A and B are shown apart, each in its own frame.
Chain A
Amino acid sequence: GNSVTQMEGPVTLSEEAFLTINCTYTATGYPSLFWYVQYPGEGLQLLLKATKADDKGSNKGFEATYRKETTSFHLEKGSVQVSDSAVYFCALSDHDTGNQFYFGTGTSLTVIP
């Protein structure tokens, strides 16, 4: 079946530190992969996506590369800001299961000045 596993939080970093949030997946078909971000009191917003192997998604300084060989889609940012404090969700969508989305449990990030 389809599933997503991401590193548990919470994660606390100082401003300008390097961020990695690990995400691995299992899928029966050829999924698209996503990172969503949820700011306090809000719904989820798409941060970045990749639709095929070796694609790199990027947005707002965040990057993630679709690695089929390791079934991973780790989120990275070189220098985090206080405004990046949020919950981050890794997700996949698989045509073979009718475009359903499968989410990880979320990783809470707090960036301190």
Chain B
Amino acid sequence: DVKVTQSSRYLVKRTGEKVFLECVQDMDHENMFWYRQDPGLGLRLIYFSYDVKMKEKGDIPEGYSVSREKKERFSLILESASTNQTSMYLCASSYHREAFFGQGTRLTVV
């Protein structure tokens, strides 16, 4: 089975902190994605990556950056966390048009 693992289930950070959300997949997938999920808004794409060191902006990249130094790992970085970034963050990898999701990280910024 494909496994996508996010480093934390729950995270509480302070406004202004730099926050790292880590995601690792074990199936050598080239494509990886970061989404945030908010009530009534569904999933919104933040960034995605087709390959190592490649990244593309999604629909809502402002306030975020990403890093993909190794194929299996895709990190989401909040440069200076703000309260409006409190959300559920979902990582996914994909192969042949099928996406596999991690369990999600619920981030609260206080």
Contacts and interface: CB of A to CB of B under 8 A. Distances in A.
Q: Is the interface of A mostly helix, strand, loop or mixed?
A: strand
Contact of A43 (B40, B41, B58, B103): B103
A28 to B, nearest CB: 15
Interface of B: 4, 6, 31, 33, 35, 40-43, 45, 48, 50, 56, 58, 90, 92, 94, 97-104
Q: Is the interface of B mostly helix, strand, loop or mixed?
A: strand
A35 to B, nearest CB: 12
Interface of A: 32, 34, 36, 41-46, 49, 51, 89, 91, 93, 95, 98-101, 103-106
B42 A106 contact: yes
24 contacts: A32-B97, A42-B103, A42-B104, A43-B6, A44-B92, A44-B99, A44-B101, A46-B99, A46-B100, A51-B97, A89-B42, A89-B43, A91-B99, A93-B98, A95-B97, A98-B50, A98-B56, A99-B97, A100-B48, A101-B94, A103-B42, A104-B42, A106-B42, A106-B43
